[in-house]
C-alpha cells in the first residue's frame, strides 16, 4: 500500500515538473484581464499560423509591435499594430471592445482571446474568425525573446490548435518607432 502511494506521488511530482499541460488546460482563456497591465507596447516573439499561405505572408515582416492604450471608456481601448517590412513601417490603428478575456474589433469580424501563459511578461493571443475558427496565435512579450521553456509552452499551445510549428521572429531586427502618426486611420484590414 505504502509503495503504491509512493509511486503515485512520484508520478505526480514528475508530472508537474515535466509533462506539458493537456490541451484543454493550455488553451484556457485567462480568467480575467487587467486592462492596466495590457496598456503599453508588446513585441511579437513567435506566431502559430494555419497554413503555408499565411506563413508566406507572415515572413515578409521583419518585426511587429502592438500597443494598447485606454480610450476613455472602461471597455474600449485603442489597439495599434506596427509592422516593419523591408525598411518601411506600417501603422494600423483600430478601436477595440474588451469583454471578459477577449476583445473584438469595431470593423472586422475577428475576435481575439487571451490565453493562459506562465510567462510573467507575455501575452498569448488567439485570433478567431467569425465562425470561431482559430486563424493564428501570437506570443508577445515585453522582451525581444523568451526563455526556451516559455517557447516550448507556446509550442504546445500551437500544436493543440493544429497549426504549423511556431515561427520565431528575429530578435535582432530593429523595431519601428512607436510614435509616428503617419498611416493613422488607415482602414482596418484582414491582414492582421
Ligand X SMILES: *[C@@H]1O[C@H](CO)[C@@H](O)[C@H](O)[C@H]1NC(C)=O
Residues that bind ligand X (CB under 6 A): 22, 24-25, 28, 86-87, 93-95, 106-109, 129-131, 133, 178-179, 185
Q: How far apart are CB 107 and ligand X at their closest, in Å?
A: 6
Closer Cβ to ligand X, 94 or 141, answer by number: 94
**Minimum CB distance to ligand X, residue 76 (Å):** 8
**47-56 burial string, b = 16+ CB within 10 Å, else e?**
bbbbeeebee
Least distance to ligand X, CB of residue 172, Å:
18
Compute the least distance from the CB of residue 68 to ligand X, in Å.
13
Contacts of 69 (CB under 8 A, 6+ apart): 39, 77, 78, 80
Beta-carbon count within 10 A of 155 CB: 16
CB 50 within 8 A of CB 164: yes
Nearer to ligand X by Cβ, of 16 and 179: the residue is 179
Q: For residues 33 and 176, which CB has a smaller minimum distance to ligand X in the complex?
A: 176
3-state secondary structure of 16: helix
| N-to-C CA span, the chain | 57
Q: Which is nearer to ligand X, 95 or 147 (CB)?
A: 95
Amino acid at each position: 500500500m505504502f509503495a503504491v502511494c509512493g509511486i503515485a506521488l512520484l508520478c505526480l511530482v514528475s508530472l508537474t515538473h515535466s509533462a506539458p499541460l493537456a490541451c484543454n488546460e493550455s488553451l484556457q482563456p485567462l480568467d480575467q484581464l487587467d486592462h492596466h497591465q495590457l496598456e503599453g507596447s508588446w513585441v511579437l516573439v513567435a506566431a502559430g499560423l494555419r497554413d503555408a499561405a499565411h506563413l508566406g505572408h507572415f515572413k515578409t515582416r521583419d518585426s511587429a509591435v502592438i500597443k494598447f492604450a485606454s480610450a476613455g471608456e472602461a471597455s474600449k481601448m485603442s489597439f495599434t499594430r506596427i509592422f516593419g517590412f523591408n525598411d518601411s513601417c506600417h501603422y494600423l490603428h483600430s478601436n477595440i471592445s474588451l469583454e471578459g478575456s477577449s476583445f473584438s474589433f469595431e470593423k472586422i469580424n475577428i475576435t481575439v482571446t487571451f490565453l493562459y501563459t506562465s510567462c510573467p511578461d507575455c501575452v498569448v493571443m488567439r485570433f478567431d474568425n467569425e465562425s470561431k475558427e482559430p486563424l493564428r496565435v501570437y506570443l508577445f512579450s515585453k522582451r525581444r525573446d523568451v526563455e526556451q521553456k516559455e517557447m516550448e509552452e507556446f509550442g504546445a499551445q500551437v500544436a493543440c490548435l493544429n497549426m504549423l510549428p511556431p515561427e520565431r521572429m528575429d530578435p535582432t531586427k530593429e523595431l519601428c518607432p512607436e510614435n509616428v502618426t503617419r498611416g493613422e486611420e488607415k482602414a482596418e484590414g484582414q491582414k492582421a
